[in-house]
Each structure stands twice: as C-alpha cells, then as structure tokens.
Structure 1
Amino acid sequence: MSSSVLVLGAGMVGVSVALHLARRGRDVVLVDRQGPGEGASFGNGGLIQREAVFPHAFPREAREILRIAGNRAIEARYHWRALPGFASPLLQYWWHSEPARYERAAAAHAALIETCLDEHLALARDTPAMALLRPIGWMRLYGDDSGMEAALRQAERARAEHGVNCVALDRQGLAAAEPHLMVGRAGAIHWTDPLSVSDPQALVLAYAARFAEAGGRFVNGDAMTLERAGAGWRVMTAEGVVEAAEVVIALGASATMVTRKLGYAPPLFGKRGYHMHYRMRGNAVLHRPILDTPSGFLLAPMRAGIRLTTGAEFAAPDAPPTPVQLDQAEPVARGLLPLADRVEATPWMGTRPCMPDMLPVIGALPGQPGAWCAFGHAHQGLTLGPTTGRLLAEMMTGDATFLPPEPYRAERFL
C-alpha cells in the first residue's frame, strides 16, 4: 500500500490531482458516487480565467450591501431560513475583504491564476481536449461610462502587476464584435487571455482518460464511508472495500462532511448556481462568452447551445432547486440576444465550494497523517484544477513545489 492513493471526488480538481499523482508513479484510485465531471464541474461558464487575478470581495459599500439584502438581484439571492447557517462564514468573508487583508489574499490567489493556462495546456496538448479549449477569451459589457472607466483602471492594474491582456471596446466596437446583440451598451472589456471551454464536462472526461492511460482507475463509491485502515485508509465502493496508504479529499462543497469526522471543520460554504441552454433564432450567433454587468449573468456559446448561467444562491444543502434567478434572467437575456427555445426541460443546479478568505485549501489535513485536502476553489475549480493537481502531487511526493504552498495550508483555519 505504500504508494497507493485514494482520491475522493471526480470533478476537475480531483481528476487533475489523480492524473498528476499517477504520472508520478502512484497507484491511484479515483472515487465518486457520480461519473467524472458530473458535479459542479459540469455547470459553469466554461472559462479558464487567466484574467481572474483579483478574487471577488465581499461588498464594502452600504448601498451595494443593501441592494443584495433586498433579495431581488439576479447575481445573488438567499433563502431566509438558510441565513443562520451562513452567518459565520459570511462574516468571516466580510472580515477577510478588508482592504489590507484582501490584498494579501489577492496576491496568493493571483499566484495560482497566473499558472492556469500553462497547466491546462500541459494536460490537454496532443489530445482531443485541445479542441475544447477555444482561444477566444470573453467580454464583460458595461451599461454606463463610469462603470467602464472604473473597470479599465482595474484592468490596467491587472496588466501592470500580473501580465493580463485585454482590449477595450467602445459602443461601436462592441456592436461590430457581437453584431447580434439587440441592446446597446456603453462598451466592453474583451479579456483576450482566457480559454473558453465548449463543453466543461468533456474536458474533465478528457483528463480522466489521460488518468486511465497513466494507469489510474476510477470506481463509483461513497466518500462518506472513509475511515482509517491501520496506518492507511479505506472506502466502500461498487467493487467492494478499497484501501490505500493516503487519501485526497477533493469533494468540493461536500468536503467538510468528510473532514469534520476527522477533526477538521473549516468554514467552507456553498453557493448554488443554475444554468440552461438555448438555441438561437435564425442565423444569429454569439462569438464568445459575454457577461452583462447591468444584468448580472453570463451567456456562453457551448456545444449544447447558448448557456445562460446565474449568480449565487445561498440555500441549505438539502433545499430543493429554486431557479428564481434563472427565471429573472431569461427575459432579460432574450432582450439581449435572439434566443429561441430552451434545450433542456429543467435547469441544471450545482454548488460552488467557497472559503471566506477567497483561497482554496491545498495541503495536508491537520492531525491525520496520510490525508490531504484539495477543495474550496469557489468559482475557479475549472480554472485551477490542473494547478492544484500539480501543486498537491509535488507536496505528496516530496518534490520541490513550483509555487509556495503556505498560503493555501489547511492549518490557517485551526
């Protein structure tokens, strides 16, 4: 068992960790109750976000907080009964968003983001995955000149400090770039570095295929059955009990359901999101993903159609789907683009795993030799899966790490 590893969770993060470990000679079994990429990695905007060097902070302005508190915004909504459960992590999120603390978090976050394109391409190159990674970037649309000007100042800082590239488009430039937009906007910023993924689950499956080629094995199983087996670990799967010397917990928003039993309960919280695909009318096209700032939603061209994604919903983990934000966004989106019928009968729903300091947990699980963490990536799990996989694999095998791992250590929440 000395070189064997269980990786719990087959989203982008878990698959990437498993692949990197298998390439380093570890005997890896990847375990999930669903197939690879069927959780939160299935539903997202499909962006490898090289530009996302500044994480989203908790609002500091009273007017913005009151707007969100009104519970009518498309980009954020909450269930009243769920609020007590979110009080502590959201208060910590607000605390970590204080300007000086935020700058420290942003520096550690940017260190991860700056690697994302190279790490994805290292896994995708010379495989069918390359066809899924479109070098078209994405655009953020602004409704007024003041919003555009503020965004350009932030974009200039991202360029100067982190090498991020973008192009500013005025009203006419935006209309030329996306001629089928039906509503005028003051302008847009075209972030040119990011890769747009035409099918996020297919990308996870492509990396899972590379994992299998490297000798790894995927089995369906229940991560909640994880327990000690002597000096190692075991879990129940569809093929029976599987044991290994080490375990990686890469379960996204469900991670603390396992870590809590092992004495580690960080303030992880989940933000639910929804998406739906639409056909376009006639010969209309959308050339690249667009985020409409006045409306608070993203529209992205995918294999399945135009994907409309909503913002965050704060709800109890077992609460039934309430796609109110999607119902609010759809008529606005139809006014923005000539959308035709819905592709699916019901919306997709998933949960993003968030940490209040805006950084993922990557590293050893405190007090549990042989147990490791890889979760809490918020909206950047698709972007940072390969980066996390490489960093954690280097830590587990004793190699020199290509990034300093200290900012992401689990101990920061003890």
Structure 2
Amino acid sequence: MHADVIVLGAGIVGVCTAIHLQDRGLHVALVDRRGPGEETSFGNAGLIERSAVVPYGFPQDLRTVLQYARNHSSSLRYQPTALPAMAPWLLRYWRESRPNRLAKAAADLLPLIERSVAEHDALIERAGVQHLVRDAGWLEAYRTPALFVQEAAKASQLAAQHGLKMQILTGEQLRALEPALSAGFVGALHWLDPKTVSDPGALVAGYADLFVREGGTLVKGDALTLVREGLSWQVQTERGVMSAMRAVVALGPWSTELTERYGYHMPLLGKRGYHMHYRMGATPLVIPVVDLEEGYVLTPMRGGLRLTTGVELAAKGAAPNPVQLDQSESKAREIVEFGPRIDPQPWMGHRPCTPDMRPVMGPAPRHEGLWFAFGHNHHGLTLGPVCGRLMAQMMTGETPLTNPQPYSPARFA
C-alpha cells in the first residue's frame, strides 16, 4: 500500500495534521496501534485553552520550590528515586522558566494560542461535533484572599494586553454563577474565551471520522516498525506494509521511542497525570473549575464529573500511585458535593513536555522525508488543529501562519 504521507499517531495532533495535509490534495495514511483519541488525547481536562498565553513554567520563588520539595502537594508529586535521571531536564526547565526566557517562550507560542479556538471551530463544524463543545469558558478559583487579589491584578493586566475576556468574581458572585461550589473559594477569575469539551476522546474520534469521510486512510499498525527503504518510509500495518515518501512522527509521549532509533535524543519528559469520573451531586457543576492552589481540575463530562490531577514525576514504566488522586479528591470534596467513583480504575496518562515549553515541529535534520510533531506540553488538545495546519503548510511549501523556527527539531540536535 502506498500513500503520499504516513502520519504516525492518531491523537489530536496526528489527526489534525492528517486532515490538513489531505486538504492540500495529498493521500494520507494515519497509523496508530489504537483507535483515534484513545491515549493522551483521551484523558485531559477538556479545555481548549485560548487564555493560556503564558506557559506553565518551573516556580522561581524559593517558597514554592520548598513546598513542592516536601512532596506533600496535590499539585505536584514526585518519585524520589526518579529525580536523578530527570535532573538535567528539570535544570533546563528551571532555566527556561526565568522571567526573560519565559516571556520569549510565551511570545513564540502566542501565534498558535491566538488561533487555537478558531481552528477548532472550523473542524468542529466540518466534523459535525458541535454537541461536544461548550462556550462557557472556565473558572480559575482561589482559596486564599491575598493570593486571589494578587492574581486577579495580574490577570487583569494579561487580559488587557492580549484582548482576552475575563471577569473577576467575588465569592458571592462565584456561587451565584455556579451554585455547586461551596464557600471554600473566596473568588475566581472567569476566563470566557476558552471552550470546553465534554468528551475529548470523542472529539478526536469525530475529527478522525471527518478525515476518513473525505478520503483518508486510517489503519492500525505499529509505528515503531518505521524503516527507511530506498527513498520511501515503510511501516507495518494490519493491511500490510504502508509506504510513503514522507512520514510524520506524532506519537506524543512515545515519540522518542522512535526518534532515538534515528539518533535524535529529544529532551521529552512525560509528566504523569490521573483522572477519575464521579457521579454528579444534587447540584451539578456546569462550568469547569480549576483549583489553582491545589492543582486539580473538575470538568462536567459525558461520563460524569471528571477530576484531573496535577503533575506527577515518576520513572518511565513505574506503577500508578493513587496518592495524588486520593489527595485531590479529598480537597475537591471540600468545595463541591459529588457522588462516588464511576470508573473501575483511575486513568493515567503522560503529558509530553519539552524543557523550553515549545513543541517539536518540523523536518528531522538528518533524514529526508521524516517530520516531527510532538511535545505540546500541557496544550495538545488546545493546539492540535492550529499545529496541524502549520505542519501541513511547512510540508507543502506554503507560507506558514507563523515563523516555525522556534519549534524546529534542530534546536535539540
């Protein structure tokens, strides 16, 4: 079997890249070992985060660092034995999070963030999945009055700078808007530009259905069998060998398992996270809420109320640890009344993160026809469609929507 391009990975980034390449007249084969949206794209908090104009950086104040070092925070937990191997990545992440470098990262990512909702809107309409998406925005809630006042001032400045719609809500205003919340929150910032998704996995599957309806090839196969044969790239699938002149690695946190075989040692760290669904309480939550001080997100989903945890740093292949989810659930029940767990086991996934907080997108420096599209940090769902467009523009010689140089794989070569 032959295609013009093989896209390896049917998560949000891979599916959107395949769609945009197909829109430009190419025959595209989308290859994954599982169905579309069944891995990392499935388990997130369901936010299309238009307001995320500043990346998640490493804390720069000593107080926060020491708080995390105690390993009692529900926002961040770590496996002590895993830290030595992660130390070089974490050190670079800390350096890249210094104010001047963080500002540069934000500027480099802004052209993608600014287009994130519009690009989703176009695919949502084409795919007919409007029922999965809401325009209610999300709530950034605080427990501590002083911190709320401080962060509200920063947010007001940020919103004005970037033309974002944001409302500052007192505790009373917050509970009037969202009666499910108790008095545990003293106030919140209501970001109105983002959209929320009631089933992220179904959204990605809907985009993949669009790809197939419009002539794309979706096939199960093992991306790690990719080899170069002559001038083409070949991969083993359930339908036999698929070959193409170009291949895109969009395997999220598993991308480096393939790229390292070709000598590309990308600094990609999988930040682990968990989610669990619960039965809604008597007063159901309507708008997603992020507890900024405890690091979890509560999102109303089709499968129930989804609690998504913060970050866990653990060795690759380490067994799941229930502590962070249990701690986050306990904190959440202080704020919202909700029922028992629905899922038989917590879901665990990995957020593919680079230390400079920028994705890896562009041609492999030493292998013709090999392209990379991974490392979207905490914003894969948000950036999938716009990054799919940018990848297709680069691969077909179009003028790109923004300068792609900051995302080039060559920066790590």
Give TM class, smaller chain.
over 0.9
| Residues 271, 313 of structure 1: 8 Å contact kept | yes
**Could you tell me how far apart the structure 1 residues matched to 2:7 and 2:200 are?**
20
| Residues 288, 300 of structure 1: 8 Å contact kept | yes
| Residue pairs, 1:18-37, within 5 angstroms | 18-37=18-37
Name the aligned partner's letter for residue 6 of structure 2: L
Match of 1:205 in 2: 205
Match of 2:157 in 1: 157
| Residue pairs, 1:176-255, within 5 angstroms | 176-255=176-255
Q: CA deviation at 1:193?
A: 0.5
Q: Which runs of 4+ in 1 moved over 4 A?
A: none
| Residue pairs, 1:330-409, within 5 angstroms | 330-409=329-408
Q: CA deviation at 1:239?
A: 1.6
**Could you tell me how far apart the structure 1 residues matched to 2:110 and 2:157 are?**
12
Structure 1: tracts of 5 or more residues without a match: none
Q: What TM-score does the superposition give when structure 2 sets the normalisation length?
A: 0.97
**Could you tell me how far apart the structure 1 residues matched to 2:264 and 2:347 are?**
31
Identity percentage of aligned residues: 49
1:279-324 deviations in whole A, cap 9, x for unaligned? Answer: 1233x11110001123221101000110001011111221111121
Number of residue pairs the alignment of both structures matches: 413
Q: What TM-score does the superposition give when structure 1 sets the normalisation length?
A: 0.97
Match of 2:103 in 1: 103
Name the aligned partner's letter for residue 224 of structure 2: M
Match of 2:291 in 1: 292
**Could you tell me how far apart the structure 1 residues matched to 2:357 and 2:267 are?**
11
SS at match of 1:299: strand
Match of 1:169 in 2: 169
Q: CA deviation at 1:128?
A: 2.6
Moved more, 196-205 or 145-154: 145-154
Q: CA deviation at 1:3?
A: 6.3
1:232-274 deviations in whole A, cap 9, x for unaligned? Answer: 1011112221111100000111111111111211111110100
| Residues 2, 245 of structure 1: 8 Å contact kept | no
Q: CA RMSD in A?
A: 1.3
| Residues 127, 209 of structure 2: 8 Å contact kept | no
Does residue 313 of structure 2 align to residue 314 of structure 1?
yes
Moved more, 367-376 or 173-182: 173-182
| Residues 110, 162 of structure 1: 8 Å contact kept | no
SS at match of 1:374: strand
| Residue pairs, 1:67-106, within 5 angstroms | 67-106=67-106
Name the aligned partner's letter for residue 109 of structure 1: L
Name the aligned partner's letter for residue 397 of structure 1: T
Match of 1:304 in 2: 303
Match of 2:45 in 1: 45
SS at match of 2:179: coil
